[in-house]
């Protein structure tokens, strides 16, 4: 047979047998027969490397090591989920849904196991896997295409792969047995062990050398796509069946639930079953099944309204509080942290646990020296549940919040109505240091070479004291420092120079404004076309942005009004720091200066699609009929907003008129 034809035949055979083995758990040939076919494919590709394609099974063994991961912007955000911790939280979730939908009939649900792994996005074009990335911050992740190609349960080519583009989302994980085997290998090699399957999966996918990832026993389950509408499916249940038909692995414990009572019942069943599964799950994800209802419900800044993650009761253990440290954060919050006798909690050694604030300490009645019950909330974050009072012997000491800052000695404040004690001194070294660390970190500008230890070193030597100082560093400042050299100094300065033109959202998130994280910063960037306009924004301007509340608005305005901050921006300007906003073409400028609101039932668009169109064309969205509103788009049964807009003389468009407007360019 012609070698080219045989190669195509082998690819199809190996893809089919991988599907049967890793996805369907129904192999029809032996491992030896599979290995023989695979070796034959490798021999042909070795002779004809120009025939290797992105869907070749040979890519399962990994490619050339990467120097570093590049960044991938998700076309649509990968949102996180709000949490529930029991029956009452699930019932409250349904109540919120019904209030938002203005209906009495409860929706139907789909319940899916919540895997304890790493969320990823897979992009297929023409049925072929062309890109894979981590969730990252939801907006931007790391490009791990080469690593994901080595995961055997991820198809390199989809069945029925005639679709132009499909963005698939799911979870990569490691089974318990795989972790045991991997840790056995690492122990024999004298390498540190992975604490749990999630850490092992995340660490394996973040290997720069894909060949190392290929040796790790990783698996994958799909749970959705970025845009359900492209599938032609009407609900989540149909979508998962559709994805399974394409050859993607779907978890067998997904359940359709006609009502919340069934959801609650299935949660109890899954909790009882969790320890019998080959892999770890830490809860159950509950989704409104119907996509039209999902579209009506939409999303908040960080999470969709139509889904919730219900967590299993946390894993617990008993230990003792040795002492309490008080840490000062970048916003001045003073957080008590319990130093514990190390204890294994569900496979993770825990030696520290946050006590949150003074009110929490008082509520739980905690003392130094107490024997305490510790748990990993949601199986992840260590926290102290309670003191075991029966074990007290009289040597315990009451934990008292300090009255002065443990770093700068400035008197502390506890604002009325707040639980957090704060250091109000803006020059507090701890706040400035943590702000600098955050500014340079992955959550900030991600300046390579300026990790926590390097920033602490430069701060201690007074080479950097505020954020703009980073951009005034010189080679001679760095190259002579302990642990540095000319090359490392050059690399850091190149990274610093490259950070002078960040996106506006990244820059705002890096500033560390209280209550303003990456998602909120993205909302601000979409609503303001320059840093200057954001700095001049009022509280009223900010609360008009969907997804932003008054607390965020007040905090943002207070930050930019601070004279010290204003002086800091003068230094940024002197250093040549210029945050960038995506330039708008003529099409996107169509709605520039317009503030729109949608009311009533839309027939041709979901609310999410309609709002995206406005933002894509340079407009803004508001949540109410105010003076700022310039145009109201009405669907069926628009209600009181139409009347109020007419009274204020606002422009009124039907859904069809709005579509004609945005499609006219």
Look up tokens 């300490």; give the residue: 361
CA 488 → CA 454, 470, 477, 611, distances in Å? 11, 15, 12, 46
Biggest alpha carbon distance in the chain?
Answer: 86
Q: Is residue 584 classed as helix, strand or coil in its secondary structure?
A: coil
Burial 601-622 (b: 16+ CB within 10 A, else e): ebeebbbbebbebbbebbbbbb
Question: Which residues, in sequence order, are CB contacts of 242 under 8 Å at separation 6+?
Answer: 231, 232, 233
**Strand extents, DSSP E, 236-313:** 255-257, 281-288, 307-311
| Cα distance between residue 463 and residue 483, in whole Å | 15
Set 5, 47, 68, 114: catalytic member: 114
Decide if 374 contacts 353 (C-beta within 8 A): yes
Question: Tokens in use for 608?
Answer: 């999410």
Cα 441 versus chain centre, distance: 16
Decide if 69 contacts 143 (C-beta within 8 A): yes
Sign of the alpha-carbon torsion through 522, 527, 533, 534: negative
Closest Cα to residue 507, out of 452, 555, 554, 444? 444
Q: Which helix (H) or strand (E) holds 97?
A: helix 87-101
> How many residues are there in the chain?
665
| Cα distance between residue 123 and residue 636, in whole Å | 37
Closest Cα to residue 264, out of 280, 284, 294, 282? 284
Q: Is residue 11 classed as helix, strand or coil in its secondary structure?
A: helix
Give the end-to-end CA distance of the chain in Å, rounded to a whole number: 55
Question: Tokens in use for 92?
Answer: 């409250």
Dihedral-angle region of residue 515 (phi above 0 means left; psi in -120 to 50 means alpha; beta otherwise): left
Name 125's bridge partners.
128
The verdict on whether 114 is a catalytic residue reads yes
| Cα distance between residue 72 and residue 123, in whole Å | 11
Pairing outcome for strands 218-225 and 166-174 = antiparallel
Angle between helices 260-273 and 87-101 (to 10 degrees): 150
Cα 420 versus chain centre, distance: 26
Q: List residues with catalytic annotation.
A: 114
């Amino acid at each position: 047979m012609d070698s080219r034809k045989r190669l195509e035949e082998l690819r199809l055979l190996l893809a089919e047998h991988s599907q049967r083995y890793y996805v369907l758990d129904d192999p029809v040939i032996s491992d030896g027969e599979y290995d023989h076919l695979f070796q034959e494919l490798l021999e042909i590709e070795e002779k004809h490397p120009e025939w290797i394609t992105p869907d070749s099974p040979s890519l399962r063994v990994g490619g050339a090591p990467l120097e570093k991961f590049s960044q991938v912007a998700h076309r649509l955000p990968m949102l996180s989920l709000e949490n529930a911790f029991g029956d009452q939280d699930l019932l409250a979730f349904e109540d919120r849904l019904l209030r938002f939908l203005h209906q009495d009939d409860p929706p139907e649900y789909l319940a899916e196991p919540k895997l304890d792994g790493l969320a990823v996005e897979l992009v297929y074009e023409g049925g072929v896997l062309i890109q894979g990335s981590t969730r990252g911050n939801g907006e931007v992740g790391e490009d791990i295409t080469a690593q994901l190609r080595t995961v055997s349960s991820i198809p390199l080519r989809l069945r029925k792969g005639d679709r132009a583009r499909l963005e698939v989302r799911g979870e990569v994980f490691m089974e318990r047995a795989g972790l045991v085997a991997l840790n056995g290998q690492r122990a024999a090699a004298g390498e540190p062990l992975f604490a749990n399957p999630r850490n092992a999966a995340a660490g394996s996918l973040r290997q720069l050398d894909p060949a190392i990832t290929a040796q790790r026993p990783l698996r994958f389950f799909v749970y959705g796509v970025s845009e359900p509408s492209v599938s032609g499916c009407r609900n989540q249940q149909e979508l998962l069946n559709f994805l399974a038909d394409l050859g993607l692995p779907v978890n067998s414990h997904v359940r359709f639930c006609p009502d919340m009572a069934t959801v609650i019942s299935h949660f109890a069943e899954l909790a009882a079953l969790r320890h019998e599964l080959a892999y770890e799950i830490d809860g159950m994800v509950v989704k409104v099944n119907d996509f039209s209802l999902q579209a009506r419900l939409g999303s908040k800044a960080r999470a969709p309204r139509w889904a919730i993650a219900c967590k299993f009761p946390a894993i617990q253990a008993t230990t003792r509080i040795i002492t309490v440290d008080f840490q000062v954060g970048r916003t001045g919050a003073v957080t008590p942290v319990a130093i514990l006798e190390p204890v294994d909690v569900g496979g993770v050694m825990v030696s520290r646990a946050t006590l949150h604030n003074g009110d929490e300490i008082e509520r739980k009645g905690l003392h130094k020296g107490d024997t305490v019950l510790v748990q990993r909330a949601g199986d992840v974050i260590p926290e102290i549940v309670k003191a075991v009072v029966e074990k007290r012997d009289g040597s315990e000491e009451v934990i008292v919040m300090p009255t002065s800052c443990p770093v700068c000695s400035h008197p502390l404040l506890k604002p009325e109505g707040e639980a957090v004690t704060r250091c109000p001194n803006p020059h507090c070294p701890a706040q400035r240091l943590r702000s600098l660390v955050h500014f340079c970190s992955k959550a900030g500008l991600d300046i390579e070479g300026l990790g926590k230890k390097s920033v602490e070193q430069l701060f201690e030597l007074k080479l950097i004291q505020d954020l703009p100082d980073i951009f005034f560093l010189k080679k001679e400042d760095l190259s002579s420092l302990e642990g540095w050299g000319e090359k490392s100094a050059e690399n850091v300065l190149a990274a610093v120079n490259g950070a002078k033109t960040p996106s506006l959202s990244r820059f705002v998130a890096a500033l560390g404004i209280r209550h303003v994280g990456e998602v909120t910063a993205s909302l601000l960037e979409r609503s303001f076309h320059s840093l200057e306009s954001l700095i001049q924004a009022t509280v009223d301007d900010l609360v008009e942005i969907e997804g932003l509340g008054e607390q965020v608005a007040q905090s943002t305005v207070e930050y930019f009004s601070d004279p010290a901050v204003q002086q800091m921006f003068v230094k940024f300007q002197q250093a040549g720091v210029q945050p960038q906003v995506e330039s708008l073409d003529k099409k996107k400028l169509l709605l520039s200066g317009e503030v729109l609101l949608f009311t009533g039932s839309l027939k041709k668009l979901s609310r999410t699609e309609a709002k995206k169109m406005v933002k894509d064309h340079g407009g803004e969205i508001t949540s109410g009929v105010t003076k700022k509103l310039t145009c109201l788009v009405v669907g069926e049964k628009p209600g009181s907003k139409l009347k109020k807009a007419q009274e204020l003389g606002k422009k009124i468009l039907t859904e069809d008129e709005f579509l004609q407007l945005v499609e006219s360019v």
